Structure 1
Amino acid sequence: MRLHRLEVQAFGPYAGREVVDFDLLGADGLFLMHGDTGAGKTTLLDAVAFALFGAVPGARGQVKRLRCDLAEAHVATEVALELTVQGHRLRVVRSPEYQRPKRRGEGTTTQPAKASLSWLGPAPHGTAADGLTRVDEVSRTVQRLVGMSADQFFQVVLLPQGEFARFLRAETTEREQLLERLFGTRRFADVERWFRERRTARGRELDQARQAVREWRARLAQAAGEELPEDAGTEWVAELRRGAASAVAEAREDERRARTAAEHAERELERRRTLAERVRRVRAAHAQLATLAEQAEARGEWAARLAAGRRAETVTGVAAEADRQADRVRQALAIETKCRRAAVAAGVSEVDALAVDLRARAGELREEAGALAGLVAEAEQQRRDRVRLERLAESATYATTEAEALGEKLRGIPERIRHLRTERDETADAAARLEPLRTRERETAALLADSRTEPELRLAADRAADAERAAVEAHQLARERLLDLRERRLAGMAAELAARLSPGTPCPVCGGAEHPAPATAASGSVGEAEERAVAERERAADERRQQAVAARHRADAALATLRERLGGRTPDELAETAAELRAEIDRLAERAERRARLDQSLRAAEAEVEELTAQRADAERAVASAEAERTALAERVEDRARRLDAARGEHADVAERRDHLLAVVRALEELAEARTARAAAEDRLAECRAAVTEALDRAGFSEVESARAAALDATAAAELERALADANAAEAAARATLAEPDLAEVSPDTGVDVESARQEHARLRAEAEAAVATLHAAARRERDLGELAERFTAAVAELRPAEEEFAELDALTDVVNGRGQNSRRMSLRSYVLAARLEEVAVAATARLRTMSMGRYSFVHSDAAGARGTRGGLGLDVLDDYSGAVRPAKTLSGGESFLASLALALGLADVVAAETGGTLLDTLFIDEGFGTLDAETLDTVMNVLDELRAGGRIVGLVSHVEELRQRIPTRLRVRKSRTGSTLAVTA
């Protein structure tokens, strides 16, 4: 993966649009990013990470505030990155979610996150040729091409500040968390969890199987009715089954004897019951015949009375109908008399005419009333139209008055509108001049505030210059001291070498084994330790010199920038200018504030003109409409009045005349109907009286009253019929009973003892039922014991292999999770991570030995931790000077940086191979070089030269001044109050 071009806009400290050309910077394979603290060096690395994954590394990614606070409101926050990965060149553009001012109104709104991916060459197979625009699709595609997650990328491409120093000194748990993120060992954690969950599940199943065995044993004891022994097993179960079988055989023999005795008693009881029933039937038949003989005379009377009642029914029904018809005739006469009086009151003269004549006269009058119905509706409309004429006259008068009043109002408004427009034009000029003056006021206020800091900046510049001179002098003295010591040491080097000689060992200079005249140390000779101490002091003095030079440059630049901005103006001049601008702004603001009120007044006046004009037009149209409608309506009212006067006759109006005619029609029709009903009722009464005379002759009665006396109601007749039928049926049944063959020889005086036989049968039957219940209980117990014994035996058989399987699974789960027989206390996941860490240690050792000049090597340890904690992720260093393995925490600051850098580079190689072998052509190393001396820095730079010699591009982020001299291609980040900017120097 190689980066080509990065563009940032309104991102982090960059208010404008800045471009980083990695092809230009990486032409030599190595470049440096430097600048003031907080200028935005690390932000460029954040921009690379955000473009690829939509996130930034470390704690900065948790804040989620990526937009530059100094950017203009209309400038969008955006990061664009061009890169080549797996042979495909692409461009990724992302914008984070941020708050921006609303385009209309006040307040802010949320600008949503956006992302796009476009191919700058042929698109990969299976992807859209025109690119992607969805955030999730862009993220998935980038991660698939890069071949690693965001966490892995942050660790192996953007080697972060202090991360690997912390990893080097971390405990096992912290180191494990980082390695898990990098190598994706979650699947091994899933395996551990699968073993734990499976052991838990199988443990529950084993507990259930054991509980089942206990339950079957308890149920066996309960079914047998015995106490559960402590050593209950298969022999105890067999004994229970043998006892149950013996009890069943004994109960079956007792049941057979009891059943035989009960059957014999039942047959004897049945014989006595049959004989007693025959005697009872014979006695009942003789008693029934004696009773019927005593009722013979009464039954004859019942029959005669029933026959007379049936003959009287033919007369009483016809006589009742004649009486009802006589009542109807009387009612019809009363109704006819009432209707005759009503007709006379209505003015009818033909009250004695026939019904057909009355109906004919009513038809004539109804036709006359029908002809008047339409005129009644016209009379009602005539009343409404006269009311409408009055209202139209009033409306015309009111509309005329309103139109005149509106015209008076309209005549005074145009002059007021002209005056308002003149005043508004005057305020528009004030508003246009206001914003430029406010901008000048803000600039002047900022300059005034900055001008008051000039003495402090001048004093700081003088102090920085003095500090620089002192630091330069101190460094020169330290340098001279170091050169002097080195010269003295070189002069005494022969004595130093001679001090190391021993008899028989070859000389490191000439190779001889004899040393006839070894040199001796002169007075004032210098050793290696003293030279190293002085060199360290010289390096510290040089570092203080560089810091002083940088501080003096910053102070001079700040003072020069301020003086350039002030342009020779004093604070008093600036204050006076600010006061003049404030007064002018207040004057113009007061005039500009009136513009809104004038605009509102002008719009109100113009709207009032439109509204009054429309109202006057409506009023004029209303006058014309009312006058036209009133004229037409007056003509219709006059014509209708002539027709209504002719139709009402001598009545007050047409409706009254029509009501009179309808009342006469109703009286005639009611009289005709009553007269017809009375004639029909008289005819029906004559027919009923003739039918009564005929019925008396047929029934043999002389008059109606005699027939009514002999008549029976329905209840009495039914009772007589039922009594006669019951007596006849009882006599026939009694004689039939005595005639049966089984009762021929039975005497009504025979006695039978049934009770003693019933008691004996009940006793024997109870004994038989008890014997059956005992047999059933014994058989059920034997059956239950058999079923429970089989299930108990099956449960015991299933339990043994389950216990053996669980023991094996339990031991294996402990080993996989770093417990039990696992002597190193390493889980499966830790074992895999330990293997990866061992690969990292091997890859990092090659570079660490080079950078430490062969002194240090990484040593991986898989020993268990203290107090039984998990092991496998130990990482120590082997010191070749002492031959001892010691913790990485004992390394000095510079040594820790070397070890961390070597570890980071080794980890990058291993992770790249683990994630699919994606070649990482571009690496970034963020800070840490300030802890190295000049000689070690040379060694580190040689290692970085090896990286770029292999085709990689390495970007360094550092404050170290010496790196600026060593690395020709540099990207400088300048920080100012209006946002950071970038510049490339070569």
Structure 2
Amino acid sequence: MKPIRLVFQAFGPYPGRQEIDLEALGRAGLFLIRGETGAGKTVILDAMAFALYGRSSGGARGELGAMRCQLAAEDTPTEVAFDFETGGRRYRFTRRLRVRRKRSGSTELIPEQDAFFRNADGDFEPFFENPKQSLVEGKAEELLGLGYDQFRQVVILPQGQFERLLVAKPDEKEALLTTLFGMGQWGEAAERLGEKTLAEQRALETLRQEKAALCRAAGCGQEGEITLKKQALQTQIARLQKQSEEAGREAALAAQALEEATVLDSAFARLDDAEKLCAQLEGQAEEQQRRRETLGLRELAEPYDRWRRAVRDARLVRETVQSSRQAEADCEARRTALEKEEKQAAEQRELLRQKAEKKPALDAQLTLLEQRRTFAAEAAGLAEQLEKKRAERKSCDETYKLCVEESSRAAALHLQALSCELAEGLSDGVPCPVCGSTHHPAPAHAAQGEMTRERLQKINQRLEKANAAALRCAAACDALEEQARAAERRLERAGGYDPAVHAAVQNQGKAANAAVCKLEVLEKKLAGFAARRSQLDLEGRTVRASLQNGETKLARMEAAEEAVRLELDRLDPDGAGQARLHDEKPSPALFTQLEKELREYDAQLSAAREAVRAGRAQLEGQARPALDALRERRDGLRGQEKQAYSDAKVAQGQLSRLCGTEKQVLEINRALASRGEAFDRLAAFTRLVRGQNGVSLQRYVLGVMLSAVTAEANRLLENIHGGRYQIYRTLETSGRTRKAGLELEVLDRQSGGRRGVATLSGGEKFLVALSLSIGLSAVTQAQSGGRELGAIFIDEGFGTLDTRSLADAMGALAAVRSSRGMVGIISHVGLLRESIEPGIEVIKKKGGSTLRVIL
């Protein structure tokens, strides 16, 4: 990463906009950030950290809102923008606190962040449409290959943090190095391995419990009891199978005897059924005799039906004749009504025609009356206008009269005023300019009220206007009088206008119009009378023809009825058969059915009597068998067979399940044997990786990385104090957990012995810690993928060094500068100011700090 430009405003103690050309400072190589204590030197590093990760370089200053300058204007937003270059491309990260005013008048700060890259056109283009804080921070980690904690240890060495790695306890050092080197995966791998070992242990225990549960379910306390129980079940199954076979043979013999007895019992049952059927049929003899008598009425039924049909047909014809006679009377009545209605319509038509004939004369009269009404309305309107104009003329005349009187008075007052003015200039012995007299016995005196020339002119103007208005009104009035006289003459020539006569003629016209309309309707109605008469004539002829045919048919029907009546009297003189036919109403189908049923009855009775005779002959001398006893014996033997067979099946099921259980137990034993060996190896490997017997895998890897860090630090220490100190990682264990591999010690070549880092003096500890931090930065850079880190910033710590140590530190920093390209130091040590000219000078003022770049 190569820093290019840093811009911020309203940030920390800086209320105004500050811009730092880091690219120009990078060309100088080593530069110093100097200024008074509290001026805001570290805030410059905070601005870079905030732009990238949203947190300060020291990690203790809180969110961006806590860094807002309290001296900035209320509406000035807090902004930080950091441009840098990596991988040959330029990027820009920004943070901003936008000030938004609420409706209540108070303000709130809205945090915003974004990340940009410079495209081929040289413009900065955003990475995200919605730049959330997590996305921007993730993009910074992706581009730099460093997280926030790694950035603080590799690029920015915060104030007071040099000794953290040097003097930290092993556990703290392990946590710090795990974060910096991203070694958490080794610990996670150990945890996952432990979880896998525990899961396998639980699985083995589950198998053991499953085996014990299988034995308990089989009713065995131990595995060996399963074999003994199998042998007992096999013996029991053989015995039950033999019992089932013997019971089956006896049940077959009992079933054969029952079958023979069932055949004999069926013969006895058929004889009983035949005797019951014979008795039942003989009990129906009286009913069948009545049915035979009903069948005997078949000869009488045909003429009886013909007589009934003849009576019915004659009744229907009589009703038809009666309806025809009624229809004939109705036709005659309707014809009479039609003739009467036609006569009334003709009389009404004549009256309407007389009224309609008056319509043309009435229309002409109405036209004349409308013209007269127009003339009358015109004359009335002009008369009304004339009356108004006369009133207006009278008003104008009165106004003119008043104006004349006012003008006369004004002229008199004006003349009096002129006389007074002239009198004021008269004196005895001086001739009067009007009469020439030198004697002035009665000079004019001023009258009440002053009349000026201007006022007199206004009054005369009003008089002229009133005169012109009176003349215009008089002319208009004369014109209206002439128009009104002309309208009256036109009305008189037309004959005058009477509203009552006009209304009467209008009523007569309306009546004539209504008569015309009614006459048209009535004409249509009269035209329809002829059609209605023709329809009635046709209907009357049809009804009379129907009546004549009905009377003829009725006479023929009555003759046929009488002939059938005579035939019935011959066949059934006493009428008994006819009475039965009337009550029972037998149909031809019934006679056919009775004949068929009687034949079937005779055949069934004969067959039943023959079956009784034959059955008695077949069973003579034999007894009826006891089927229930035979059936009970057969069922009992079959039950014994089924029970023995069922018991054998149950025992076979138990044997099958027991064999399955035995097989499952054997499989579990094999699984326990194979998985147990693998579990022992897994458990041993887990203890080794987790360091339960010494150093864990994660601590071992961290130890290797720490050795690389100490190697880098020792290369720098070779140029400090003549290479007196070297730092090494010790393998001795410490703490209750007996963990080893992360302790540090210092080799003092002057004394030739090793000692703890806590024994170093303040300046020595700073130089060793600085070398260790620079070494850590180099290893972290290599471990981050080899990304080039073109800058390192060191915050304070040089105040504890003497002149020689300071010179050694500067030599070490010069070596770092050759590999990094830019080294920035924050310090107020005077010697550094003299040695390092390029830099940034922070100026502390009452209204806030400002800065100045020195190249």
The TM-score, its normalising length taken from structure 2, stands at 0.65
Task: State the alpha-carbon separation in 1 of the partners of residues 18 and 281 from structure 2.
Answer: 137
Task: State the alpha-carbon separation in 1 of the partners of residues 644 and 583 from structure 2.
Answer: 76
**Superposed CA offset, 1:297-324 (max 9, x none):** 4312123336649949957996997799
Name the residue aligned to 2:788.
919
Which of 171, 196, 205 pairs up with 1:173? 171
Report the alpha carbon displacement of residue 272 of structure 1 after superposing the two structures with TM: 1.4
**Paired residue type of 1:801:** S
Task: State the alpha-carbon separation in 2 of the partners of residues 268 and 793 from structure 1.
Answer: 55
**Paired residue type of 2:666:** T
SS at match of 2:146: coil
Which of 633, 636, 651 pairs up with 1:778? 651
Name the residue aligned to 2:151.
153
Report the alpha carbon displacement of residue 98 of structure 1 after superposing the two structures with TM: 3.5
1:285 and 2:159 matched: no
Name the residue aligned to 1:14.
14
Matches within 5 A, 1:337-352: 351-352=333-334
SS at match of 1:968: coil
**Superposed CA offset, 1:565-622 (max 9, x none):** xxxxxxxxxxxxxxxxxxxxxxxxxxxxxxxxxxxxxxxxxxxxxxxxxxxxxxxxxx
**Superposed CA offset, 1:19-77 (max 9, x none):** 22234434443211122334322222122234445554443574132554544577665
Task: State the alpha-carbon separation in 2 of the partners of residues 38 and 316 from structure 1.
Answer: 144
Q: Is the 8 A contact 1:33 1:971 kept in 2?
A: yes
The verdict on how the C-alpha distance between 1:119 and 1:291 changes in structure 2, with shifts beyond 3 A counting, is: closer
**Paired residue type of 1:47:** A
Q: Is the 8 A contact 1:117 1:138 kept in 2?
A: no
Task: State the alpha-carbon separation in 1 of the partners of residues 616 and 702 from structure 2.
Answer: 113
- Say what the alpha-carbon RMSD is for the aligned residues: 5.4
Report the alpha carbon displacement of residue 832 of structure 1 after superposing the two structures with TM: 1.4
Report the alpha carbon displacement of residue 262 of structure 1 after superposing the two structures with TM: 1.3
Name the residue aligned to 1:420.
none
The verdict on how the C-alpha distance between 1:982 and 1:335 changes in structure 2, with shifts beyond 3 A counting, is: farther
Which of 748, 751, 757 pairs up with 2:624? 751
Name the residue aligned to 1:791.
664
Q: Is the 8 A contact 1:8 1:17 kept in 2?
A: yes
Report the alpha carbon displacement of residue 157 of structure 1 after superposing the two structures with TM: 0.7
Name the residue aligned to 2:335.
353
Name the residue aligned to 2:229.
240
Report the alpha carbon displacement of residue 249 of structure 1 after superposing the two structures with TM: 1.7
Matches within 5 A, 1:702-713: 707-711=581-585
Aligned residues, how many?
A: 674
1:266 and 2:255 matched: yes
Q: Is the 8 A contact 2:91 2:115 kept in 1?
A: no
Q: Is the 8 A contact 2:794 2:824 kept in 1?
A: yes
**Superposed CA offset, 1:677-725 (max 9, x none):** 9999999998899599499899978998764323269999999899858
Matches within 5 A, 1:356-395: none
Q: Is the 8 A contact 1:325 1:684 kept in 2?
A: no
SS at match of 2:335: coil
Bigger drift between 297-306 and 705-714 goes to 705-714
SS at match of 1:14: coil
Which of 199, 204, 207 pairs up with 2:205? 207
Name the residue aligned to 2:217.
219
Q: Is the 8 A contact 1:282 1:747 kept in 2?
A: no
SS at match of 2:630: helix
**Paired residue type of 1:273:** T
Which of 803, 828, 832 pairs up with 1:959? 828
Matches within 5 A, 1:4-43: 4-43=4-43
The verdict on how the C-alpha distance between 1:37 and 1:261 changes in structure 2, with shifts beyond 3 A counting, is: same
Name the residue aligned to 1:195.
193
SS at match of 1:113: strand
Task: State the alpha-carbon separation in 1 of the partners of residues 201 and 178 from structure 2.
Answer: 30
Report the alpha carbon displacement of residue 13 of structure 1 after superposing the two structures with TM: 3.4
Name the residue aligned to 2:465.
none
Task: State the alpha-carbon separation in 2 of the partners of residues 648 and 677 from structure 1.
Answer: 42
Report the alpha carbon displacement of residue 95 of structure 1 after superposing the two structures with TM: 3.6
**Paired residue type of 1:763:** G
Which of 662, 676, 680 pairs up with 1:803? 676
Report the alpha carbon displacement of residue 160 of structure 1 after superposing the two structures with TM: 0.9
Matches within 5 A, 1:621-640: none
**Paired residue type of 1:776:** K
Which of 712, 734, 739 pairs up with 2:608? 734
SS at match of 2:213: helix
Task: State the alpha-carbon separation in 2 of the partners of residues 689 and 897 from structure 1.
Answer: 155
SS at match of 2:99: strand
Report the alpha carbon displacement of residue 803 of structure 1 after superposing the two structures with TM: 1.8
1:835 and 2:718 matched: no
Task: State the alpha-carbon separation in 2 of the partners of residues 258 and 898 from structure 1.
Answer: 108
Report the alpha carbon displacement of residue 829 of structure 1 after superposing the two structures with TM: 1.9
Name the residue aligned to 2:363.
none
Task: State the alpha-carbon separation in 2 of the partners of residues 731 and 202 from structure 1.
Answer: 94
**Superposed CA offset, 1:426-472 (max 9, x none):** xxxxxxxxxxxxxxxxxxxxxxxxxxxxxxxxxxxxxxxxxxxxxxx
SS at match of 2:116: strand
Task: State the alpha-carbon separation in 1 of the partners of residues 842 and 668 from structure 2.
Answer: 80
The verdict on how the C-alpha distance between 1:787 and 1:12 changes in structure 2, with shifts beyond 3 A counting, is: same
Name the residue aligned to 1:427.
none
Q: Is the 8 A contact 1:53 1:139 kept in 2?
A: yes
Q: Is the 8 A contact 2:233 2:655 kept in 1?
A: yes
The verdict on how the C-alpha distance between 1:682 and 1:163 changes in structure 2, with shifts beyond 3 A counting, is: farther
Task: State the alpha-carbon separation in 1 of the partners of residues 550 and 43 from structure 2.
Answer: 124
SS at match of 2:263: helix
Q: Is the 8 A contact 1:283 1:748 kept in 2?
A: no
**Paired residue type of 1:834:** G
1:182 and 2:180 matched: yes
Name the residue aligned to 1:85.
86
**Superposed CA offset, 1:359-412 (max 9, x none):** x99xx99xx9xxxxxxxxxxxxxxxxxxxxxxxxxxxxxxxxxxxxxxxxxxxx
Report the alpha carbon displacement of residue 270 of structure 1 after superposing the two structures with TM: 1.6
Q: Is the 8 A contact 1:49 1:57 kept in 2?
A: yes
Structure whose CA Rg is larger? 2
Q: Is the 8 A contact 2:50 2:95 kept in 1?
A: no
**Superposed CA offset, 1:156-190 (max 9, x none):** 11011222323333333332232122111233234
Task: State the alpha-carbon separation in 2 of the partners of residues 675 and 884 from structure 1.
Answer: 160
Task: State the alpha-carbon separation in 2 of the partners of residues 69 and 676 from structure 1.
Answer: 124
Task: State the alpha-carbon separation in 1 of the partners of residues 687 and 284 from structure 2.
Answer: 110
Task: State the alpha-carbon separation in 2 of the partners of residues 180 and 688 from structure 1.
Answer: 136
Q: Is the 8 A contact 1:325 1:681 kept in 2?
A: no
The verdict on how the C-alpha distance between 1:928 and 1:726 changes in structure 2, with shifts beyond 3 A counting, is: farther
**Paired residue type of 1:904:** S
Name the residue aligned to 1:585.
none
Task: State the alpha-carbon separation in 2 of the partners of residues 204 and 304 from structure 1.
Answer: 103
Task: State the alpha-carbon separation in 2 of the partners of residues 678 and 8 from structure 1.
Answer: 127
**Paired residue type of 1:18:** Q
Task: State the alpha-carbon separation in 1 of the partners of residues 804 and 234 from structure 2.
Answer: 102
SS at match of 2:334: coil
Task: State the alpha-carbon separation in 2 of the partners of residues 719 and 957 from structure 1.
Answer: 135
Q: Is the 8 A contact 1:91 1:120 kept in 2?
A: no
Task: State the alpha-carbon separation in 2 of the partners of residues 320 and 172 from structure 1.
Answer: 136
The verdict on how the C-alpha distance between 1:766 and 1:911 changes in structure 2, with shifts beyond 3 A counting, is: same
Matches within 5 A, 1:963-982: 963-982=832-851
Report the alpha carbon displacement of residue 155 of structure 1 after superposing the two structures with TM: 1.3
The verdict on how the C-alpha distance between 1:976 and 1:731 changes in structure 2, with shifts beyond 3 A counting, is: farther
Q: Is the 8 A contact 1:863 1:874 kept in 2?
A: yes
Q: Is the 8 A contact 1:73 1:100 kept in 2?
A: no
Q: Is the 8 A contact 2:77 2:98 kept in 1?
A: no
Identical-pair percentage:
29
Task: State the alpha-carbon separation in 2 of the partners of residues 177 and 43 from structure 1.
Answer: 28
Q: Which runs of 5+ in 2 are unaligned?
A: 350-504, 525-530
Task: State the alpha-carbon separation in 1 of the partners of residues 215 and 45 from structure 2.
Answer: 73
**Paired residue type of 1:152:** Q
Report the alpha carbon displacement of residue 796 of structure 1 after superposing the two structures with TM: 2.0
Report the alpha carbon displacement of residue 780 of structure 1 after superposing the two structures with TM: 2.5
Matches within 5 A, 1:492-503: none
